[in-house]
Structure 1
Amino acid sequence: MNDLSKISSTDLGLERRLPLPFEGVDVNFCRNPQCSGLGLSPDPYKRPLGSPAAPPGAIRGVVAGSRHSEFFTCPTCSTNHRLKNNKAIFEEYNRLKDLQQVDPIAPGCRNPECENLGKSLAAHPDQYRSFGKTAGGDPRHQCKCCKKTFSIGRATRRQKRSDKNPLLYRMMVNGVPFLKMCSIAQVSYHDIYRKIDFIYDQVRAFRAEREVFDDIDWMKVGSRFATDSQSLKMNWPTKRERTQIIVQHLCTAHARSGFIMEAALQFDDKASHDKVEAEMALVGDDLLSKCFREHGRLWSKTEFEDYISKLQKQKRIKEEELYQLPHSGALVRYDIMQFAHALRLRDMVGEAEGKFVFVTDGDAGLKAAFCAAMADLIKQDRADIALVFFNKKMNNDLRNAAWSAGRSILAGQTGLSVSQINKLSDEDYADLVDTEIAASLVGHDLRMGFHWPYHTKSEPDRRIELLTDRPGRDYRATARLLRLATLRSVDSYFNKFRSNLRFAARPQVSETNARKAWDKYYLYKPEIMVKLTEIYRFHHNWVGYGSKETPAMKLGLARGRIYERDFL
């Protein structure tokens, strides 16, 4: 089929009905894994009566819907797919990529007004010249463009109290509030913020060098990934604005090792809502639908307030659950972040051989994002997408009761007693469960959902939708896939995250102040939340204690545990 999406509308004299692709990113196609049109770009032009006909074989379909809610209806499977802003997805993809792959302390020009900003000495040696040494003997270089100089030396060369770094790092990742850090380490709040900045830069520099997945044998270390999100809250910025500030923390974990492949907050600390609104007004974006805008990645203040007001009128949220935009930085549109996140995962698996399994929370946005990003792998029968739903509101007693009920069901089906089942090894138990599930799958359409009968404590009442269910697949292989379709690895990380970062704990609710959520240890600066989140992710992957091997060792990225002296 001809790829009309790359042809300018002026070349044909036609108006576009689909957003333009941007830098190779185009997600506006059928995203149904069961459809033959999956991943095929539809004809992007409106073709009124008398206009040139679409090329033979081009997919047409219908584009309809109100402003901001346009969707494409696939002519093959009749499913609807909400249109997305390709440029915004690419921009967010680049932001996430830079967070993981750009070394912020690489020697280079630091002048924000210079053309060489961001160009390291190692990658662009022709842009710099040697310029002697500092008084301490460190090499100095000069930027040829702006004539500014910079020196190269130990990361701690400008610190007077570098001996505090390991202690403060350990307190940061072990739930110690800032006030107690000041008391224990005998430092000020100002010192703590500077140390966070320093450790954050060191962590990013370490990851940029070491987190390279090109040589990972996914078939050996495991090819399953789990994706979920959690809500993180901050205190209100002023006494006049006592409404919650909430951002989503979206993560993907490698199931077998627990390595957090990709994680980021729905927040850009380098942007500004006021600047976004001004730029949108300048180019007329406020008159366009979100999917056709020049600036479609971030919320503007006006649109966010209108959106919250609309939800309140529809009674989809309660008044006390209203939240506001962060008072610094900018909130990223969550659907855009989901697509960018999925594209980052597609990059990480690369062109590796074998079959991958992507398990996500039952969020419609994640479903669309992963079906779009993995479309080529799905068409090659090299990727399975599974959605998982379970009862998250059960307390521990109810979870134990569900687990016991699941064992009783298995005992009744197999003729074994519960005590006999409990004595089975993990391998024998898995084999027994696969046998029983395989027998129950005959004639079952897994796209409609499968209720897992043998409840686990971590995911009671689990239901799995296998979006890539294919006829002819071996029942026993399908049973194993359903057994392993779990979010346990990423949810386990979330539990550790909330336990070990004091600001991430669930909020207290005031009974005497209109049930406003507030916590004296919560953060007021959103940018600090970004940095602590990245620091803890690094700690979990490379440093974390509690087992003989860290997730990085299990994945094959490290031969041994990383210690504070290795990056501080």
Structure 2
Amino acid sequence: MEIEKLRRPSRVPVEVAGLQVNYCRNTLCSNFGVTPGERDRRNRSAAAQDPAYVMTGGAGALMPTATCGLCKESFPLKSNLAVAEEMARLSAYLAPIPELGCPDQECAHWGKAVSTHPKLYQGFGSTSAGSRRFRCKHCTKLFSIPTSSTPRQKRPDVNALVYRLLINKMPMRRICETAGIGPQTLYTKLEFIAERARAFAREQESQLLRGKVLPPLLLSTDRQDYLLNWGTSADRRNTRLHGVGTADNRSSYVFGMHLDYDSRLDPGDIELAALECDDYGILPPFRTFARLWLKRDWNSQQMIQRRRYGAAKKRGIAVAELDEEVQSPKWGGDDTKLPGRGMKVRDDYSVFGHLHLIAQLTAGSPHVALYMDLDPGLRAAAHTAFREKILEGRADTFQVRINKDMTIDTKSLAVAQAKQRMARFARERGIEQAAASRCFLEEHLSRRGFVERWQDRWVDHPSPDQGEPEKSLLHLTDRPDLTDARRADLHLWGSLHGIDRFFMVLRRRQSLLERPISSASSSGRTFMGNNPYRPWVVEAVLDLLRVSYNFHHVGKDKKTPAQRLGLADRGYALEDILAID
């Protein structure tokens, strides 16, 4: 079969709005932060004035990659336009709401508000709900300005009750019965509550973009999957969405929880636009719609096999021992489908956009330590998002490896053995047991010395807990000028418990996000009675739960995460969150 030759418009994706993410990810390499030049050649005799990269791939299904000529590390090229678009999508809730004016974008008065340009508009009575109506003097379009804080809400008295039930794991049908509303009213209120939650977050978190001073942060980043039910028996495939979140381990504040789904886009319009600009004939990093999953890419045999292979590995099937003829029937129907409405974002660009937004929100912190799950995509995104801070020595990144296959008994045994080792070490050194872990790490790191190759820097945590047994950390941004004491502290603080705790709250407080259970006869398919059918519902639930978790729920210290971070001076009732205008 002949492999289709895809076009490559340039050697490297062009910079967009000052954003360039294509450079060596090794923080000790001189090419870290240095973009491959347009005149790089495929050999070591590249021009001296250009960064020493070798560009490979791009033939057929091969993803174009760049290999650093100094440290020999390779990385796939990414679309800067896609990263910029994803950042804009995820940070849209932080943008100030424009004042109302003419709704017609083709009109000369578009963008000119009634409050600042009153002579451009004529009063035109009011709506049945009491909102003031205006007419544009240029295009004669009518529009209204709501006077109520709860527009289109016939039962605003139950909004707080619905919010409270949504974050306390009550199924949707039971919420309808308890609140005395119908299903369509519930979905309307869900959308309204999520919008109010985003508006409340905008009011509180906009000060972070203005450079609010924050304490040193210990951030943890991880990902979580969500399965949606199929809506028709004609296609019994689930839709799988990926969420990525980042939280502060000290305050428990969740800076972001984002889904790889864009509800604003129409799949039909995007497919037509992709065909018009010939996106299918261009290599993925150079496409106009590089951040989105197009149908032909998603349904390609290569991608189907890759998804089935990953699902088979999770189910414990020895896929390496299967020949090609029996692979598909043996693996079963583990494939998933794209959402019917909205567009699924490629998860690598979702991670890039997420961590670039986190970098902006945490700019006021003097130092950021970022602990990530063992995922190469997270490392690449983190090193591009925090590049300036890493070069200044004000950011450190770690990968955390945890044995997740242990039973309760083996976890308890591992923690008990670790405590015994630290108690014995404390007695031998004549120190307090509370200081044993730090002293042990400092001695170990001093004996080992600085390790040049970043892949060889794994260190076992001396004091794992029940939630993270057999924990190891890899210091990605280690450098020779760090003291052993500082290295010991950064390793000792390493944990994913901040974001994992929020993930646990999501599962326990919202029935829509429960873990799926597959039966032996379902061939990997799962149908969950409480799980949603519409992707935007998951997006809305994540937003309203994040806001209530940060600003409403208090811990044992009687403070919310926002109070501990210094972002709020009190806890907020759900009614306060909904009252935001």
For normalisation by structure 1, the TM-score amounts to: 0.87
Output the CA distance in 2 between the equivalents of 1:260 and 1:546: 14
Contact 1:102-1:205 within 8 A present in 2 as well? no
Q: Give the partner amino acid of 1:382.
A: R
1:461 equivalent to 2:465? Answer no
Output the CA distance in 1 between the equivalents of 2:443 and 2:107: 65
Aligned residue for 1:473? 482
For each residue in 1:315-368, what CA deviation from the matched residue of structure 2 results, as whole angstroms up to 9, or x when unmatched? Answer: 773434321111211110011111111211221233x46222111111100100
1:407 equivalent to 2:411? Answer no
Aligned residue for 2:340? 327
1:510 equivalent to 2:519? Answer yes
SS in 2 for 1:218: coil
Deviates more, 1:488-497 or 1:534-543: 534-543
Output the CA distance in 2 between the equivalents of 1:406 and 1:190: 54
Aligned residue for 1:181? 175
1:555 corresponds to which of 565, 568, 571: 565
State the shift of 1:41 in Å. Answer: 1.9
State the shift of 1:236 in Å. Answer: 1.5
* Alpha-carbon distance change, 328 to 199 in structure 1, aligned in 2, over 3 angstroms: same
1:162 equivalent to 2:156? Answer yes
Deviates more, 1:468-477 or 1:262-271: 468-477
Aligned residue for 2:123? 131
Contact 2:102-2:113 within 8 A present in 1 as well? no
Output the CA distance in 2 between the equivalents of 1:336 and 1:228: 15
State the shift of 1:518 in Å. Answer: 1.5
Q: Over aligned residue pairs, what C-alpha RMSD do you find?
A: 3.0
* Alpha-carbon distance change, 205 to 300 in structure 1, aligned in 2, over 3 angstroms: same
State the shift of 1:312 in Å. Answer: 6.0
For each residue in 1:446-503, what CA deviation from the matched residue of structure 2 results, as whole angstroms up to 9, or x when unmatched? Answer: 6321122322111111111101111242212111100112111000000001110101
Report 1:238-253 matches (<5 A).
238-253=232-247
Contact 2:548-2:574 within 8 A present in 1 as well? no
SS in 2 for 1:294: coil
Output the CA distance in 2 between the equivalents of 1:529 and 1:432: 44
Q: Give the partner amino acid of 2:212.
A: I
Aligned residue for 1:64? 56
* Alpha-carbon distance change, 552 to 126 in structure 1, aligned in 2, over 3 angstroms: farther
Aligned residue for 2:351? 338
* Alpha-carbon distance change, 314 to 433 in structure 1, aligned in 2, over 3 angstroms: closer
Contact 2:217-2:365 within 8 A present in 1 as well? no
For each residue in 1:133-186, what CA deviation from the matched residue of structure 2 results, as whole angstroms up to 9, or x when unmatched? Answer: 637765555556653221232222542211111111100111100110111111
Q: Percent identity?
A: 26
Q: Give the partner amino acid of 1:174.
A: N
SS in 1 for 2:421: helix
Contact 2:101-2:114 within 8 A present in 1 as well? no
SS in 2 for 1:24: coil
Deviates more, 1:288-297 or 1:388-397: 388-397
Q: Give the partner amino acid of 2:442.
A: A
Q: Give the partner amino acid of 1:518.
A: F
* Alpha-carbon distance change, 353 to 336 in structure 1, aligned in 2, over 3 angstroms: closer
Output the CA distance in 2 between the equivalents of 1:122 and 1:256: 46
Output the CA distance in 1 between the equivalents of 2:509 and 2:365: 37
* Alpha-carbon distance change, 61 to 144 in structure 1, aligned in 2, over 3 angstroms: farther
Q: Give the partner amino acid of 1:311.
A: R
Report 1:309-388 matches (<5 A).
309-311=304-306, 317=312, 318-350=331-363, 352=364, 354-388=366-400
Output the CA distance in 2 between the equivalents of 1:315 and 1:92: 26
1:267 corresponds to which of 249, 261, 264: 261
SS in 2 for 1:508: coil
Aligned residue for 1:441? 445
* Alpha-carbon distance change, 122 to 109 in structure 1, aligned in 2, over 3 angstroms: closer
Aligned residue for 1:538? 547
Aligned residue for 2:74? 80
Contact 1:116-1:127 within 8 A present in 2 as well? no
* Alpha-carbon distance change, 250 to 64 in structure 1, aligned in 2, over 3 angstroms: same
2:287 corresponds to which of 290, 293, 312: 293
Q: Give the partner amino acid of 1:523.
A: P
SS in 2 for 1:156: coil
Contact 1:509-1:516 within 8 A present in 2 as well? yes
Output the CA distance in 2 between the equivalents of 1:137 and 1:337: 42
For each residue in 1:264-308, what CA deviation from the matched residue of structure 2 results, as whole angstroms up to 9, or x when unmatched? Answer: 101111123333222221111111110111110100111111143
Aligned residue for 1:493? 502
State the shift of 1:566 in Å. Answer: 1.6
Contact 2:418-2:462 within 8 A present in 1 as well? yes
* Alpha-carbon distance change, 16 to 124 in structure 1, aligned in 2, over 3 angstroms: farther
Contact 2:304-2:335 within 8 A present in 1 as well? no
Deviates more, 1:174-183 or 1:71-80: 71-80
Aligned residue for 1:193? 187
For each residue in 1:393-442, what CA deviation from the matched residue of structure 2 results, as whole angstroms up to 9, or x when unmatched? Answer: 3233322222112112212222289xx99xx8xxx72x321111111112
2:533 corresponds to which of 513, 524, 531: 524
1:217 equivalent to 2:213? Answer yes
1:391 equivalent to 2:403? Answer yes
Contact 2:109-2:120 within 8 A present in 1 as well? no
* Alpha-carbon distance change, 145 to 410 in structure 1, aligned in 2, over 3 angstroms: farther
* Alpha-carbon distance change, 154 to 479 in structure 1, aligned in 2, over 3 angstroms: same
Contact 1:101-1:207 within 8 A present in 2 as well? no
State the shift of 1:42 in Å. Answer: 2.2
Output the CA distance in 2 between the equivalents of 1:491 and 1:140: 48
SS in 1 for 2:299: helix
SS in 2 for 1:478: helix
Aligned residue for 1:108? 100
Output the CA distance in 2 between the equivalents of 1:416 and 1:121: 74
SS in 2 for 1:59: coil
State the shift of 1:121 in Å. Answer: 4.1
1:282 corresponds to which of 259, 271, 276: 276
* Alpha-carbon distance change, 526 to 116 in structure 1, aligned in 2, over 3 angstroms: farther
- Flag structure 2 segments of 5+ consecutive residues without an equivalent: 1-7, 313-330
* Alpha-carbon distance change, 122 to 439 in structure 1, aligned in 2, over 3 angstroms: farther
SS in 2 for 1:557: coil
Output the CA distance in 2 between the equivalents of 1:451 and 1:223: 22
Contact 2:506-2:513 within 8 A present in 1 as well? yes
1:308 equivalent to 2:303? Answer yes
Contact 1:93-1:344 within 8 A present in 2 as well? yes
Q: Give the partner amino acid of 2:10.
A: R
Contact 1:200-1:534 within 8 A present in 2 as well? yes
State the shift of 1:115 in Å. Answer: 6.0
* Alpha-carbon distance change, 415 to 191 in structure 1, aligned in 2, over 3 angstroms: same
State the shift of 1:88 in Å. Answer: 0.9
Output the CA distance in 2 between the equivalents of 1:269 and 1:15: 30
Output the CA distance in 2 between the equivalents of 1:131 and 1:550: 45
